[in-house]
């Protein structure tokens, strides 16, 4: 489990001011500078989590202060410029007990897997009010809103500390949250926002720790309709399943009491079998994995992993990578097919203006979206025929069948409907090509590497 403590484990600095930090197991380059007579360390602005770390020097010890987290690390370098994190001191907040209470009553929202856009992969920490408005306009103009992508969520990087009264403040990029909320509502979109049960978010911005009720009220006043609540630094304060459930429930309850219907999206990377209990803390959807990446290996690992069947909400496989540029159309179609077959939330994350025509087609495919949003939300039955994965999903009317090739080779398989437990349908429609054809009793499929075919069975 990630938290503050394992975030930074080792650091190296050369005498010329260049060095690196070990963060979450990755080596991140940093440069040192002097401002106002004190060292400042800075990661590249392109880093996954761009950081500016203010330091003080006391004898041989360099003290790094992560302002938002309120945590300080002391480092003593050896002659080669290497330092293990020597001490973890100062203002580490103390966990307030958050015992699990009675289940939070359901808010009745998100009766289908939520769909929308989230700023994280496309804009990272460059988000501003202006860019979000541009994205919102693009979602409308490009037909994505009408296809169902209605929540517009500001992920990490909108926060700017707290006021004297404790109220969470946006940073300079967001001059007026209620007006932004109104703009989104006027466009027929929902307003989503992001916070953490820890004192800091994963990118070291202000979290809701100790201010849950106040933040829920503030979000409600801003017109927020959706909250993604990301574990991050809470891992340093809370370790057991009980503690995790208790602190998520505290926000779940605060949202229910805020007077505004707000979808609650849990993000704790699937810990403690969250599909079983996410709804009891007020959750509507919950992530079941670490962060998805725009690489085939990541789509495959998350897409094919088995999870418990969700109770009272949705298993969130993380965001659609379509439009981010790392995969081919064939592979993006397969991500979409898997997410839809598994009734996962469909949240795109690229700047929609970067979408190619074929990617826009993938995202707005009516059959695929209908399979995702089908009211039965039946779990897929998985079969394997030769090297082909064949998934069957019962729909309110008929079935959907996905043929998936997770291998690097062309694969082929012959099969009958009985092989996959189905009666022979009259016709099928191929979701990707739109071609309708009579169904034969026995047939074969051939799939290129990472390719998918999705059929809707028609009587
Ligand atoms: C975590 C989450 C991501 C994103 C970032 C933001 O890594 O899993 O989805 O919200 O934090 O810092």
CATH code of the domain in which 306 resides: 3.20.20.70
Are 210 and 286 in a shared domain? yes
Are 163 and 297 in a shared domain? yes
Q: Ligand 1 center to residue 145 CA distance, Å?
A: 24
Q: Say how far apart CA 96 and CA 112 lie, in whole Å.
A: 35
| Domain assignment of residue 103, yes or no | no
Q: To which H or E segment does residue 401 belong?
A: strand 399-404
**Residue 196, token pair as written in the block:** 């953490």
| Domain assignment of residue 319, yes or no | yes
CA dihedral 173, 176, 178, 183 (to 10 degrees): -70
pTM confidence score: 0.85
Are 70 and 201 in a shared domain? no
Q: What is the pLDDT of residues 317-326, one digit of tens each?
A: 999 999 999 9
What is the model's pLDDT at position 437? Answer: 96
Q: Ligand 1 center to residue 269 CA distance, Å?
A: 10
| Domain assignment of residue 277, yes or no | yes
Greater confidence (36 vs 107) lies with 107
Q: Which residue of 24, 26, 267 sits with most ligand 1 atoms within 8 Å of its CB, as the best mutation to test the pocket?
A: 267
Residue 332 pLDDT > 80: yes
Are 386 and 342 in a shared domain? no
**Ligand 1 contact via 155 beta carbon (within 6 Å):** yes
- Which of 98, 150, 114 minimizes the C-alpha distance to 265? 114
What is the model's pLDDT at position 25? Answer: 53
The pLDDT mean for the chain works out to 90
Q: Ligand 1, closest atom to CA 228?
A: 10
Are 361 and 393 in a shared domain? no
Are 299 and 156 in a shared domain? yes
Backbone angles phi, psi at 283, to 5 degrees: -75, 150
Q: What is the pLDDT of residues 11-69, one digit of tens each?
A: 777 777 788 876 655 677 888 888 878 788 887 766 655 567 778 777 777 777 655 44
Are 85 and 164 in a shared domain? no
**Ligand 1 contact via 201 beta carbon (within 6 Å):** yes
What is the model's pLDDT at position 236? Answer: 80
Sign of CA dihedral 122, 346, 136, 205: negative
Domain range for 436: 381-458
DSSP structural state of residue 423: -
Q: Ligand 1, closest atom to CA 205?
A: 12
Q: Ligand 1 center to residue 228 CA distance, Å?
A: 10
Q: Ligand 1, closest atom to CA 291?
A: 8
Q: What is the pLDDT of residues 259-314, one digit of tens each?
A: 999 999 999 999 999 999 999 999 999 999 999 999 999 999 999 999 999 999 99
| Domain assignment of residue 108, yes or no | no
**Ligand 1 contact via 267 beta carbon (within 6 Å):** yes
**Ligand 1 contact via 291 beta carbon (within 6 Å):** yes
- Write the residue with the smallest CA distance to atom 8 of ligand 1: 291
What is the model's pLDDT at position 1? Answer: 29
| Domain assignment of residue 13, yes or no | yes
What is the model's pLDDT at position 235? Answer: 85
What is the model's pLDDT at position 42? Answer: 82
- From 373, 400, 417, give the residue that closes a domain: 373
Angle at 184 between CA 180 and CA 188, to 5 degrees: 165
Sign of CA dihedral 6, 120, 255, 175: positive
What is the model's pLDDT at position 29? Answer: 83
Are 328 and 347 in a shared domain? yes
Q: Ligand 1 center to residue 118 CA distance, Å?
A: 11
Provide the domain count of the chain.
Answer: 3
Angle at 411 between CA 315 and CA 424, to 5 degrees: 70
| Domain assignment of residue 424, yes or no | yes
Greater confidence (88 vs 369) lies with 369
Instruction: Report the pLDDT averaged over residues 235-240.
Output: 86
Instruction: Report the pLDDT averaged over residues 199-225.
Output: 95
Q: Ligand 1 center to residue 424 CA distance, Å?
A: 45
CATH code of the domain in which 450 resides: 2.60.40.1180
Which band of pLDDT confidence, cut at 50, 70 and 90, is reported for residue 96?
Answer: confident
**Ligand 1 contact via 203 beta carbon (within 6 Å):** yes
Q: Say how far apart CA 252 and CA 227 lie, in whole Å.
A: 10
- Which of 299, 242, 293, 289 minimizes the C-alpha distance to 267? 289
Residues annotated as catalytic (active site), given as ranges: 230, 291
| Domain assignment of residue 41, yes or no | yes
Q: Say how far apart CA 407 and CA 457 lie, in whole Å.
A: 26
Q: Ligand 1 center to residue 144 CA distance, Å?
A: 23
| Domain assignment of residue 98, yes or no | no
Residues facing 443 on adjacent strands: 415
Greater confidence (101 vs 30) lies with 101
- Write the residue with the smallest CA distance to atom 1 of ligand 1: 202
**Residue 161, token pair as written in the block:** 């500390």
Are 324 and 362 in a shared domain? yes
Are 227 and 310 in a shared domain? yes
CB atoms < 10 A from the CB of 70, how many?
16
Residue 79 pLDDT > 70: no
Q: What is the pLDDT of residues 405-416, one digit of tens each?
A: 999 999 999 999
- Write the residue with the smallest CA distance to atom 11 of ligand 1: 202
Q: Ligand 1 center to residue 239 CA distance, Å?
A: 19
**Residue 417, token pair as written in the block:** 């409907």
Residue 70 pLDDT > 60: no
Q: Ligand 1, closest atom to CA 201?
A: 12
- Write the residue with the smallest CA distance to atom 3 of ligand 1: 291
Q: Which residue of 207, 230, 235 sits with most ligand 1 atoms within 8 Å of its CB, as the best mutation to test the pocket?
A: 230
Angle at 358 between CA 356 and CA 362, to 5 degrees: 115
Are 359 and 398 in a shared domain? no
- From 356, 373, 390, give the residue that closes a domain: 373
**Ligand 1 contact via 13 beta carbon (within 6 Å):** no
Q: Which residue of 66, 127, 155, 316 sits with most ligand 1 atoms within 8 Å of its CB, as the best mutation to test the pocket?
A: 155
Q: What is the pLDDT of residues 116-170, one digit of tens each?
A: 999 999 999 999 999 999 999 999 999 999 999 999 999 999 999 999 999 999 9
Are 120 and 70 in a shared domain? no
Which band of pLDDT confidence, cut at 50, 70 and 90, is reported for residue 381?
Answer: very high
**Ligand 1 contact via 120 beta carbon (within 6 Å):** yes
Q: Say how far apart CA 432 and CA 362 lie, in whole Å.
A: 8
> Which residue blocks in 102-149 are alpha helix, DSSP H?
120-123, 129-141, 144-147
């Amino acid at each position: 489990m990630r938290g503050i403590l394992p975030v930074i484990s080792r650091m190296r600095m050369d005498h010329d001011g260049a060095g690196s930090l070990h963060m979450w197991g990755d080596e991140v380059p940093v440069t040192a500078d002097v401002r106002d007579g004190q060292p400042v360390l800075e990661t590249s602005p392109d880093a996954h989590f761009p950081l500016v770390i203010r330091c003080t020097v006391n004898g041989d010890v360099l003290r790094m202060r992560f302002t938002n987290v309120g945590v300080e690390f002391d480092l003593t370098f050896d002659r080669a410029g290497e330092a293990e994190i020597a001490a973890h001191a100062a203002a580490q907040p103390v966990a307030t007990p958050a015992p699990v209470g009675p289940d939070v009553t359901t808010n009745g929202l998100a009766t289908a897997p939520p769909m929308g856009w989230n700023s994280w992969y496309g804009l990272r920490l460059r988000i501003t009010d202006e860019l979000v408005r541009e994205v919102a306009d693009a979602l409308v103009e490009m037909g994505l809103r009408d296809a169902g992508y209605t929540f517009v969520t500001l992920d990490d990087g909108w926060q700017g500390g707290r006021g004297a009264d404790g109220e969470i403040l946006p940073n300079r990029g967001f001059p007026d949250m209620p007006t932004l909320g109104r703009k989104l509502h006027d466009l027929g979109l929902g307003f989503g926002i992001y916070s953490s049960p820890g004192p800091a978010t994963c990118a070291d911005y202000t979290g809701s720790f100790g201010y849950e009720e106040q933040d829920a009220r503030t979000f409600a006043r801003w017109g927020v309709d959706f909250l993604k609540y990301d574990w991050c630094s809470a891992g340093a304060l809370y370790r057991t399943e009980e503690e995790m459930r208790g602190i998520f429930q505290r926000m779940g309850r605060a949202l229910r009491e805020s007077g505004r219907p707000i979808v609650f999206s849990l993000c704790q990377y699937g810990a403690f079998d969250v599909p079983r209990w996410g709804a009891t803390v007020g959750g509507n959807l919950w992530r079941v994995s670490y962060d998805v990446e725009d690489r085939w290996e990541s789509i495959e690992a998350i897409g094919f992993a088995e999870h418990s069947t969700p109770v009272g909400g949705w298993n969130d496989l993380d965001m659609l990578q379509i439009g981010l540029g790392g995969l081919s159309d064939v592979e993006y179609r397969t991500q979409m097919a898997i997410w839809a077959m598994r009734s996962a939330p469909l949240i795109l994350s690229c700047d929609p203006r970067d979408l190619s025509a074929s990617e826009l087609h993938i995202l707005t495919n009516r059959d695929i979206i209908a399979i995702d949003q089908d009211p039965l939300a039946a779990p897929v039955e998985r079969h394997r025929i030769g090297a082909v994965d064949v998934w069957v999903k019962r729909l309110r009317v008929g079935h959907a069948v996905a043929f998936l090739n997770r291998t690097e080779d062309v694969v082929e398989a012959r099969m009958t409907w009985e092989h996959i437990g189905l009666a022979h349908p009259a016709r099928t429609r191929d979701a990707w090509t739109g071609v309708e054809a009579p169904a034969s009793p026995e047939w074969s499929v051939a799939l290129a590497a990472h390719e998918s075919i999705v059929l809707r069975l028609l009587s």
